[in-house]
Structure 1
Amino acid sequence: MTHFQYMIVGGGMAADAAANGIRELDADGSIAIISDDVDEPYTRPALSKKLWTDEEFSEADNFLGTAENTGAQIYLRTEVSAVDADRRTVTTAEERFEFDKLLFVTGGRPKSLDLEEGERVIYFRSFADYRRLREFSGRDLNVAVIGGGFIGTELAAALVQNSTNTTLIFDDETLGASVFPSDLARSFHDLYQKHGVRLVAGTKVSGGRSDADHVSLDYGDGSHEFDAVVVGLGIEPTTDLAEQAGITTDDGILVDESLQTSRPNVYAAGDVARYPDRLLGRQRVEHVDNATQMGTAAGRIMAGSDESYTHTPYFYTNVFDFGYQAVGTLDPSLRTVEDWVQPHSEGAVFYLDEGERVQGVLVVNRKGQLDAAREILAEDWAHAPSDLVHRLTSDD
């Protein structure tokens, strides 16, 4: 069996960050990254953002250079069939490996519906999915996007800005209603209509079928035909291997403040890890800031650091001329306090629980406010609107 000091199962941004974190403390320890992807680690956010909007940013620019930067040996197109935490082995179809320490960064699988994936049906997650979707853009074709969350809204914006007839199908009656106060959601909804996206609101797709030339989706009053369909309904954490290895899971792989699982020398990070956030309680976060920060911390910890993971990650989106950053919980059923420099285009929104404690902070088109937003989240007392207005919007 081939032996590695550090075994990383999964090949995304958290894997790259972990390998770099290891190298901060251990210049020579052997690292293996086992990935079922066809590509070496790459920047995932660009798949629905920068690669569509920045002509100077190429596909080649999107790779992270993990092997070159860290010396990690990367096994692509390779599925792990079993992990034995007691014997410290990882088994694939080709061979079995031994490890000293192992990190799960297995991410998640796209949520699906009754529609089989194919050449014209894309469950969007990977660089390969981006390349397939690109084939249908810029040709005045009719493409449907299913899902009104982060991926769905970003892909709809990307497609319509690249000469594609775009239809966005989503559950909410107003686009963004599940995260924004009603007036902001209405403005967000109107933004998409202004840019030419056809919005099909309050609708769930019950299924569909595809052939060599078209895809038919079943929703509303019947069947609707498109040239291609891309599904962006979020992910389910990939915990199968951890569960089979006897590791505790609950909507993700449970880890402690040192990112260790219920088994010694086995860790988890990124989208799949459910960790104790110092401000928000136990969380599982599917965003790039968490993947990179947690992955780096996991790598350092495996290499001997005694640190804890104390970072509260942020998340963000950029569509058209609307961009935001946020920390915490964005739930419009909570009480909201809005503070606008320019209505619905520059300002902040605070989300408060019944005890008037801030649970989430949304900052629209204003950068450099994340640390201040985290400070507000850490203030464990009741807040009146006057305590919050101008906290993040004053230029003084």
Structure 2
Amino acid sequence: MEQTYLIIGGGQAGGRAAETLRQQGVTGRVVIVGDESCPPYERPPLSKEVLTAPGDDTCFNGWLHEAVFYEQAAIEQREDRVTRLDTARQIAYLASGEALRYDKCLIATGGRARTLSDIAPGERVLSLRTLADAMRLRKLLKRSRTVAVIGGGFLGLEFAASARARGLDVTVLEAAPRLLGKAMPAAFSQRLEAKHRANGVNLALNAGPISVEQNETGVTVSAGVDAATFDFCVLAVGQVPNDDVARASGIEVNNGIVVDECCRTSAPNVFAAGDCANFPFGKNGGRIRLESWQNAQDQAIAAARSMLGDTSMYRPTPWFWTDQYDWNVQMIGLHDETVDQWVTRDTAADKQVLIGLRDRVIVYALALNQGGEIRALRRLVEQSIPIHPDQLSDMRVKLRQLERSAT
């Protein structure tokens, strides 16, 4: 009897999982149910190329594959929404009223833009999460002169850089005392702040409480006693996991859908991957939910293989990147308070490597316009062996040499 593999969510993770199932030889039905009317795509271009590319409003190069790929691979795509699963009978109930039986199910529903309770979304107060969001913002950028960005994280800063490239006056309001405080060390955060100021962005740190009033012609944004008027406002205050279908189905959730190292949920034959999945991480019994291109890709592949019986454990080395102006910043590992020593390599105006150590073991690294160093840094993080800080700071010693000497 033909088996049905149901994938809930038509984003990057869902698309990669479907592709992997076919690559692994699955001959049964592969069905993607998602609430967008387009094929699966990657999200990084939404805050960059989609907003800044010249030409008409049809520009987008983030598709995993063109639509014909899914036809040729016999991957069904449904524009619908799964409301709940009957995990005992293995039936998915769709918003359209259809009931779809499955043999294996993957929840890859990603996340949705976080909102603020006292700031109502509207035509001039928008978030950026989907391709449709990006296209709306692209049109606003083309006809506006000023914009306020609430949130100084990766998304907010990438949008700010794109808006400056379009010639808009940009103000970023961040409640914390510095940009990206949880993602990078203070020294580089300050350097990034200076980069944005040098490119004409108005930065308001320690901003708050923030309120927004909108009308037909613009928005008034207040931060404490200060208020200013803008053509529109972008909320970039993070995201929350789309775990509603798991909650409605009695599947364990805790800051996302709880899975084991093989991407299995608390329900039989139900798996989860991507931004919505909370999985075991580290050596001390911790858990994490990663929001990144890498995790959406790699965990989806791991989950698809797990659906087919592979018991390999998903143990990623986190990798993030951001492009802002002429800077490419890549990070390996997680920045946290356990770093007890920092080592700096190359402090040129547009290049730098920062390495975070704990007991002389590399746990985090940041590379500015040094993409060629990332592969060696990743392997050094994965090897988790002590390295003398003097070796790391000595520019005569190549990181690749340290990698080879450690093997």
Do they fold alike, i.e. is TM over 0.5?
Answer: yes
Q: Which stretch has the larger CA shift, 289-298 or 207-216? A: 207-216
Equivalent position of 1:22 in the other structure: 21
Which structure has more relative contact order (CA 8 Å, sep 6+)? It is 1
**Residue 5, structure 1, aligned to residue 4, structure 2:** yes
TM-score, normalised on structure 2? 0.88
Residue aligning to 2:221: 217
Picking from 125, 133, 150, the partner of 1:121 is 125
Note the 1:234-253 alignment, pairs <5 A.
Answer: 234-253=238-257
Contact 1:9 1:102 in 2 (8 A): yes
2:269 aligned partner: 265
Q: Secondary structure at the match of 1:370?
A: helix
Following TM superposition, by how much is the alpha carbon of 1:38 offset from its aligned partner in structure 2, in angstroms? 3.9
SS in 2 for 1:188: helix
For the structure 1 residues 358 and 56, does the alpha-carbon distance in structure 2 shift closer, same or farther, using more than 3 Å as the test?
farther
Separation in structure 2 between the aligned mates of residue 6 and residue 395 of structure 1, nearest angstrom: 42
Residues 1:56 and 1:208: Cα distance change in structure 2 (over 3 Å): closer
Q: Does 2:68 match 1:68?
A: yes
**TM-aligned CA deviation for residue 60 of structure 1:** 4.2
Q: Please give the residue correspondences for 1:336-347 in structure 2 after superposition, counting only pairs within 5 Å.
A: 336-343=341-348, 345-347=350-352
| TM-score, with length taken from structure 1 | 0.90
Contact 1:120-1:215 within 8 A present in 2 as well = yes
Q: How far apart, in 2, do the equivalents of 1:395 and 1:379 lie? A: 13
Whole-angstrom distance in 2 between the partners of 1:105 and 1:204: 35
Are 1:176 and 1:189, in contact at CA under 8 Å, matched by a contact in 2?
no
Distance 1:84 1:207 in 2: 42
Task: Provide closer, same or farther for how the CA distance between residues 124 and 338 of structure 1 changes in structure 2, counting only shifts above 3 A.
Answer: same
Instruction: Show the 5 A alignment for 1:28-47.
Output: 28-47=27-46
| Per-residue deviation, 1:17 | 0.4
1:327 and 2:332 are equivalent in the alignment = yes
The offset of 1:30, in angstroms, is 0.9
Contact 2:221 2:227 (8 Å CA) reproduced:
yes
Structure 1 counterpart of 2:139: 135
- Taking a change above 3 Å as real, the CA distance of residues 361 and 394 of structure 1, as seen in their structure-2 partners, is closer
What is the RMSD computed on CA atoms of the aligned residues?
A: 2.6
**What residue is the counterpart of 1:85 in the other structure?**
87
The 10-residue stretch of structure 1 (47-56 or 89-98) with the greater mean CA deviation from structure 2: 47-56
2:404 alignment counterpart: none
C-alpha deviation, 1:117, in angstroms: 1.1
Secondary structure of the 2:132 match is helix
Moved more, 8-17 or 274-283: 274-283
Q: Say which is worse superposed, 243-252 or 156-165, in terms of deviation.
A: 243-252
Q: Distance in 1 between matches of 2:394 and 2:132?
A: 44
Q: CA deviation at 1:111?
A: 1.3
Structure 1 window deviating more from structure 2 (12-21 vs 320-329): it is: 320-329
Contact 2:154 2:180 in 1 (8 A): no
CA contact (8 A) 1:339 1:393 kept: no
* d(CA) in 1 for partners of 2:349, 2:187: 8
Specify which of 289, 292, 299 is matched with residue 294 of structure 1.
Answer: 299
Task: Name the SS for the 1:137 alignment partner.
Answer: helix
Say if 1:305 and 1:83 are closer, same or farther in 2 by CA, change over 3 A: same
1:50 and 1:282 map into 2 onto residues whose CA distance is 33
Deviation at residue 71 of structure 1 after TM alignment: 2.5
Pair 177,309 (structure 1): closer, same or farther in 2 beyond 3 Å: closer
Q: Counterpart amino acid of 2:20?
A: G
Structure 1 residues not aligned, in runs of 5+? none
The offset of 1:53, in angstroms, is 4.6
In 2, Cα distance between equivalents of 1:46 and 1:336: 34
Per mean C-alpha deviation after superposition, the further-off stretch among 42-51 and 30-39 is 30-39
Task: Tell me which residue corresponds to 2:148.
Answer: 144
Structure 2 CA distance, aligned partners of 1:278 and 1:344? 35
Which letter does structure 1 place at the counterpart of 2:88?
Answer: D
C-alpha displacement of 1:356: 4.5
| Higher alpha-carbon deviation: 168-177 or 89-98 | 168-177
Preserved contact between residue 271 and residue 286 of structure 1 (Cα < 8 Å): yes
**Cα pair distance change 1:344/1:289, threshold 3 Å:** farther
- The separation in 1 between residues aligned to 2:165 and 2:90, in whole angstroms, is 49
Compared with structure 1, are the counterparts of its residues 380 and 303 closer, same or farther at alpha carbon in structure 2 (3 Å cutoff)?
A: closer
Q: Matched residue of 1:199: which SS?
A: strand
**Identical columns (%):** 31
Hey, what's the Cα distance between the residues in 2 that align with 1:214 and 1:364? 37
Question: CA 1:144/1:333 → structure 2, altered by over 3 Å: closer, same or farther?
Answer: farther
Q: Which residue of 2 aligns with 1:103?
A: 106
Moved more, 121-130 or 330-339: 330-339
Give the whole-Å Cα distance in 2 for the aligned partners of 1:205 and 1:227: 20
CA contact (8 A) 1:41 1:66 kept: no
One-letter amino acid matched to 2:270: V
CA distance in 2 between partners of 1:4 and 1:342 (Å): 56
Superposed CA deviations along residues 283-340 of structure 1, whole A, max 9, x for unmatched, are 2110001101111222232234443323323110110121111121123783342323
Question: Does the Cα contact within 8 Å between 1:339 and 1:347 map onto a contact in 2?
Answer: yes
> 1:7-60 CA distances to partner (integer Å, 9 max, x unpaired)?
111111001100111011135321111112243311200001233455599634
Deviates more, 1:214-223 or 1:84-93: 214-223
Q: Per-residue displacement from partner, 1:115-152 (whole Å, max 9, x unpaired)?
A: 11111111211111101111121345211111111101
Give the direction of change, closer, same or farther, for the CA distance of 1:67–1:332 in structure 2 (3 Å limit). same
SS at match of 1:196: coil
Q: Aligned in 2, Cα 1:286/1:132: closer, same or farther, shift over 3 Å?
A: same
Give the Cα–Cα distance (whole angstroms) in 1 for the partners of residues 165 and 3 of structure 2.
46
Contact 1:19–1:66 under 8 Å retained in 2: no
Q: CA distance change for structure 1 residues 52 and 333 in 2, over 3 Å: closer, same or farther?
A: farther
Corresponding residue to 1:308 among 313, 317, 336: 313
TM-aligned CA deviation for residue 172 of structure 1: 3.0
Does the 8 Å contact 1:139/1:164 carry over to 2?
A: no
